[in-house]
Structure 1
Amino acid sequence: MLKKLERVLGLKTNPSIFFSAAFLILAFVVGSILFTAEVDSVFRAVSNAVKTNLGWLYILGVTSFLLFLLWIACSRYGNVRLGGKDSRPEYTNVTWFGMLFAAGIGSILMFWGVAEPINHFANPPFSGAHAQVDALAGSMGSPQDFAKRLGEMPVSPGATAPLSENAANEAIGFALYHFGLHTWSIFSLPALAFAYFAYKRGLPFRVSSIFHPLLGNRINGPLGRVIDTVAVIGTLFGVAVSVGLGTLQINSGLNELFGVEVSGVVQILIIAVVTTFATISVATGLDKGIKWLSNINIGMAVALLLFILFTGSTVFLLRGVIESTGTYLSMLVPLSFWNDALPAGDWGWQGTWTVFYWAWTITWAPFVGIFVARISKGRTIREFVLGVLGSPVAFSVVWFSIFGMSSINIEWNEPGSLIGPVVQEGDTAAALFTFLEHFPAPEFMMGFSVLIVIIFFTTSADSASLVVDMLTSGNTTNPPVRQRIFWAVLGGTVAATLIAATGQEALQALEQVITVIGLPFFIIAFAMMYCLVKALRKDIPEEELLSPRARSLLERERKRREAEPEPD
């Protein structure tokens, strides 16, 4: 029956995966609208249980992914080319980086570049006074009074005091921990696995293909279809969280610029407009729409970064970039294994920040992973890992150093000006625009920033629709445009429906769902590492694992022996 429906609709996909995923996503949306309180209660309870009892697994898992990627890049498998021996990259390094950045966490950097450092500056993770800060934020008083009371707050010996110099360093360190090597490890691991099994074994771009060393041809059976259906659902909902954040930020920017009301109706209109742009982009294909938008977007983001650098405290920020790099490197190893274990029995700060980030990120790792694999054919494993980990992370370090240090410097000079609206009032979405009020031509720069967010939003939406179509069909060559349009529209519909149903509460409920859905993705990721190594050991001849210089010497020796006369 599903095959017949596929033919009637003119699709070219795996009907079991396509229709199962679409049905379950729509059923969840309808259920969330009709039974919002019940769904929220169930997922909140399960989410809290996961964070309390299995949060350590999330921390250990992402650190394990990073160590595995560094090992495989430095090992002899690093010379293996993702494709045939003569394959070469389809995109230049600059274009490749722009597409990586735009489809990865570009929109997230715009949202959290100011908001996260200023939150940690006012409420340091190592302060042990989170409840006191939350109580102060909920009390009445001016932003200046709030800043004064934070600065006078007593803390335990050895703990970090809010608004202190140590709090500033730790704020940057934690922001880079959340959006640096660990986040890109979550993206890189599935991307490498997708690229290997697609280009070396010729398997379709589906999550089930990664399990070929374990399941064999059973990846085409019921078990493989279940894996792919779960991956589609998790990916779409993971992207929906980003869509929600982007919508809130665009709405806040329009409110600052034109006094547009911050409301569900406006946010739905924003989603409708951006989804229309994404649909047009995805219909034009990867090499036109997404590539063109990505190149424009990275240029605009760099322009905004340079504007903050040269119109702000330039020398202070240049020194801050270098110092922040050292802070990140010094905190990287301790944070990679920090589990907020003390005081005993108090999960504390990490459950609501790091664990949520990792769970959220890994749910849309298949989306970013397949997209990165799709644009990375022809690169060696070493080039792939170092490029995917190196370039975006380096940009993130510079971004958070400049935006984070600038926001902290503004708060030091004008107490309450940023932590008032962002921390005291909890208006995280408006953090960037409040920040830009302290720079020249604030209205123009706010409008410029809104445009950047819209384009980031569009590239994420059209990339997601392209990747979800790959997950359901396994095909990358000439799939019907209507399929990609369907997923682009469905993604926008999911976000719009949730906002229309319960507004901000729907996004909070979705965050709970993502934390729960992230758990099976972590288990899948551990299996990815095992399957990838098993496949490499079986598929790659010993000679191909040699370095290019060693292969050249071996080839010369082989030719020399062939040229020698046969012994009598």
Structure 2
Amino acid sequence: MNLKKEFNPSVFYTTVICLSVLLLLALVFKESFLAVAKSAQIFITETFSWFYILSAAIILLACIFLMFSRYGDIKLGPDHAKPSYKNGSWFAMLFAAGMGIGLMFFGVSEPLMHYITPPSAEPETIEAAKKAITITFFHWGLNAWAIYGIIAIILAFFAYRHNLPLTLRSAFYPIVGDKIYGRFGDMIDVFAAVATLCGVATSLGYGVLQINAGFSYLFGITMTTGMQISIIAIITVFVTLSATSGVDKGIKILSNTNMILAVLLVLFILVLGNTTYLFKSILENTGNYITSFIGDNLNLYAYDKQKDSWLGGWTVFYWAWWLSWSPFVGMFIARISRGRTIREFVVGVLFVPTGFTFIWMTVFGNSAFDLVIGQNFTALVDAVNKDASLALFVFLEKFPLSSVLSGIAIFMIALFFITSADSAAMVIDMLCSNGKDDTPKWQKLFWCVTIGLVAAILLYAGGLDALQTIAILSAFPFTIALMGCMYGLFKALRIDSEKKQTQSVRNLPLNIGSSKRWQDRLKDIIDTPDKDDALEFLEDTIKPAFNEIVDEFKKNSLEAKIVEDKAKSKIHILVGLGDEASFIYGIKLLSSTSPDYADGDNYYRADVYLAEGGQGYDILGWSKPAVINDIIEQYRKHMHFLHRTR
């Protein structure tokens, strides 16, 4: 079964209705709704804090296992697929969508918050400063990116390797099978769409408060609701322009720009600040994070009940927040990660953003400590206690060119929000369009405007806290389901790996398959076959061989047919095997650059491909019996694979 329509009315209209109901509750019954939601959040974090902590640890272990296991060689796409984006753009996009904006807000404020009220040290001491950075690393490090990464792997694996829709419903395919195409799948996509919109709209609302705070601090512009709604309107316009430009233009260009500005800002603070101290701190902070890593991952303060509120307000809150954002960020990362091996993906998603995050948090966090402890700049502590959104701008005041740096910071915050909202609009649009991203522009425009409108309404009516709490509450049922999805992923990976092993031994060396004299074969190596030679081989050898073997399959009561795509110079045999995976054997003519020793600019290959993608060997010049033998051998391997996995 397949979903081919570019618009799913069940998901679209249900998402709009659910969102409208939540908005109504958050606005009309603001205080009582928030009280109930907060009570539910407190109950879950206090009762099931162990579940969040354990789940985050299991997810991280699963990602590390995938990196080192045989499954790491499996591609997120066909075997012959190449990465859709270069490494630089890929890193920039996943970083900007994942947590770029959070670093702007919490880079200075969070280390100082833990310094003022640490969970296990004397407040405002050197020991508290060390512990503060370690905790900040823990909250923003490998665990967060593992949560995003595991969702992205699940979605990319089933979408690009097994042709399921690129929506959250596909993560549940190993558990419920074809039910993902019915109401169950629609319900999952509605859940993901509502959670994404709630999370992004509330983040946009809070981010606008920081932008307004920056304008107020720098230029004396009054912090008013009208000004904040105006900022949301301006950001929404740019989000709309970016979204209608597509990933390759809008999101990619904005993400690359943000990454460049982020690196420059870090370098400015590094050079203009206490450089030697910061380099030492990067090494020591990383060492402290590594040495305390296992203990922090399983620390529930079981022997100190007074720390329950701290754990629920920080670590459990963060894990729930990353989990609530994971359908959105995971889908976006999956969208831009086609063609990468699982090992390459895990290394890129886990360690590159985490490494940059550690540098960022050290440069800003330790510079803040240097100002507070070394220079007695207590105004920074006062700013954090009064309004965390002001902390970054008060911090930058102590550096040369502070106005320029603050202007860059405001610009970066705005760009990060545009990128996040743009990515979210694209993801929601895909959820409502059966995983398609080439949808009509009105759909993208609708979700861009909706995100801005929801943020503005909540900001005006004071309902941001309520919707944010709902987004966090959604993490609990989603985490339970995610554990089942991970089991399904590993089950599917084992089957895929078994099949890869059965295909690993090629049945015929290249020279055995040819019926030509050795003199002719040598001439082919020197001259290399051109397009006419390849087309002649396709007509005179491949098609007759396919016709003969299809007839033989049919004689043995098997459903077999030949499928040809002349536009792409592809042809394959499809053998249906009931409820089990069909057998596909195909040939695709490929043009390649000729080697230096050969004549001509290009030569042609007749590459074999199976259901998993290209197999990397060329059979152009083989005899018809040799081609038939190769098909039979590949069919034998396919049946052996089915036998091993039954």
Aligned counterparts of 2:502 and 2:51: Cα–Cα separation in 1: 33
Aligned counterparts of 2:388 and 2:51: Cα–Cα separation in 1: 28
Aligned counterparts of 1:443 and 1:221: Cα–Cα separation in 2: 55
The residue that corresponds to 2:488 in the other structure is 531
**Does 1:481 find its partner at 2:438?**
no
Q: 1:360, 1:511 within 8 Å by CA — same for their partners in 2?
A: no
Aligned counterparts of 1:26 and 1:489: Cα–Cα separation in 2: 14
Q: Determine which structure has the larger strand proportion and give its number.
A: 2
Label 1:544 to 1:198 Cα distance change in 2 as closer, same or farther (>3 A): farther
The residue that corresponds to 1:212 in the other structure is 173
Aligned counterparts of 2:268 and 2:255: Cα–Cα separation in 1: 20
The residue that corresponds to 1:8 in the other structure is none
**Aligned match for 1:515, one of 452, 455, 472:** 472
Residues 400-549 of structure 1 aligned to structure 2 (within 5 Å): 400-412=361-373, 413-423=375-385, 425=386, 427-502=387-462, 506-544=463-501
Q: SS of 2:292's equivalent?
A: helix
**Aligned match for 2:329, one of 348, 368, 372:** 368
**Aligned match for 1:76, one of 56, 64, 70:** 70
State the shift of 1:39 in Å. 0.5
Residues 175-324 of structure 1 aligned to structure 2 (within 5 Å): 175-324=136-285
State the shift of 1:509 in Å. 2.6
Aligned counterparts of 1:289 and 1:532: Cα–Cα separation in 2: 32
State the shift of 1:560 in Å. 8.8
Q: SS of 1:475's equivalent?
A: coil
State the shift of 1:345 in Å. 7.0
State the shift of 1:238 in Å. 1.7
The residue that corresponds to 1:102 in the other structure is 96
Aligned counterparts of 1:177 and 1:71: Cα–Cα separation in 2: 20
What stretches of structure 2 of length at least 5 have no aligned partner?
515-646
Which AA in structure 1 matches 2:150? L
Which structure has more relative contact order (CA 8 Å, sep 6+)? It is 1
Label 1:530 to 1:409 Cα distance change in 2 as closer, same or farther (>3 A): same
Aligned counterparts of 1:421 and 1:111: Cα–Cα separation in 2: 13
Label 1:322 to 1:545 Cα distance change in 2 as closer, same or farther (>3 A): farther
Q: 1:282, 1:466 within 8 Å by CA — same for their partners in 2?
A: yes
Of 64-73 and 409-418, the range deviating more from structure 2: 409-418
Q: 2:192, 2:328 within 8 Å by CA — same for their partners in 1?
A: no
Q: 2:216, 2:222 within 8 Å by CA — same for their partners in 1?
A: yes
Which AA in structure 1 matches 2:295? P
**Does 1:559 find its partner at 2:509?**
yes
Label 1:420 to 1:27 Cα distance change in 2 as closer, same or farther (>3 A): same
Aligned counterparts of 2:501 and 2:255: Cα–Cα separation in 1: 35
State the shift of 1:507 in Å. 2.8
State the shift of 1:469 in Å. 0.8
**Aligned match for 1:29, one of 19, 23, 29:** 23
Aligned counterparts of 1:376 and 1:275: Cα–Cα separation in 2: 27
**CA-to-partner distance for each residue in 1:490-543, whole Å, 9 max, x for gaps?**
1111111111002xxx33333322332111111122122111112122344443
What stretches of structure 1 of length at least 5 have no aligned partner?
1-10, 127-159
The residue that corresponds to 1:150 in the other structure is none
Aligned counterparts of 2:470 and 2:289: Cα–Cα separation in 1: 30
The residue that corresponds to 1:397 in the other structure is 358
The residue that corresponds to 1:148 in the other structure is none
Of 209-218 and 458-467, the range deviating more from structure 2: 209-218
Q: SS of 2:378's equivalent?
A: coil
Q: 1:79, 1:544 within 8 Å by CA — same for their partners in 2?
A: no
State the shift of 1:395 in Å. 0.4
The residue that corresponds to 2:286 in the other structure is 325
Aligned counterparts of 1:476 and 1:386: Cα–Cα separation in 2: 27
**CA-to-partner distance for each residue in 1:314-359, whole Å, 9 max, x for gaps?**
1111111111111111221111001122324751311111111111
Aligned counterparts of 1:237 and 1:511: Cα–Cα separation in 2: 7
State the shift of 1:12 in Å. 3.6
State the shift of 1:562 in Å. 5.5
**CA-to-partner distance for each residue in 1:51-83, whole Å, 9 max, x for gaps?**
110111111111110001111121111100111
Label 1:493 to 1:211 Cα distance change in 2 as closer, same or farther (>3 A): same
Aligned counterparts of 1:514 and 1:328: Cα–Cα separation in 2: 29
Aligned counterparts of 2:501 and 2:388: Cα–Cα separation in 1: 51
Q: 2:429, 2:437 within 8 Å by CA — same for their partners in 1?
A: no
Q: SS of 1:559's equivalent?
A: coil
Structure 1-normalised TM-score? Answer: 0.87
**Aligned match for 1:381, one of 323, 342, 351:** 342
State the shift of 1:264 in Å. 2.0
State the shift of 1:165 in Å. 1.3
Q: 2:6, 2:434 within 8 Å by CA — same for their partners in 1?
A: no
State the shift of 1:561 in Å. 11
RMSD: 2.0
Residues 57-68 of structure 1 aligned to structure 2 (within 5 Å): 57-68=51-62
Which AA in structure 2 matches 1:56? W
The residue that corresponds to 2:588 in the other structure is none
Q: 1:189, 1:525 within 8 Å by CA — same for their partners in 2?
A: no
Which AA in structure 2 matches 1:537? R
Which AA in structure 1 matches 2:412? I
**CA-to-partner distance for each residue in 1:410-469, whole Å, 9 max, x for gaps?**
00122412111112x2x0111110100110111111111000000000000001000111
Q: 2:56, 2:147 within 8 Å by CA — same for their partners in 1?
A: yes
Label 1:254 to 1:545 Cα distance change in 2 as closer, same or farther (>3 A): farther
Runs ≥4 residues deviating over 4 A: 560-564
State the shift of 1:118 in Å. 0.7
Aligned counterparts of 1:64 and 1:472: Cα–Cα separation in 2: 31
Aligned counterparts of 1:543 and 1:208: Cα–Cα separation in 2: 26
Q: Determine which structure has the larger helix proportion and give its number.
A: 1
Q: 2:84, 2:336 within 8 Å by CA — same for their partners in 1?
A: yes
Aligned counterparts of 2:342 and 2:434: Cα–Cα separation in 1: 22
Q: 2:145, 2:350 within 8 Å by CA — same for their partners in 1?
A: yes
Aligned counterparts of 2:449 and 2:411: Cα–Cα separation in 1: 21
Q: 1:108, 1:242 within 8 Å by CA — same for their partners in 2?
A: no
The residue that corresponds to 2:609 in the other structure is none
* Percent identical: 40
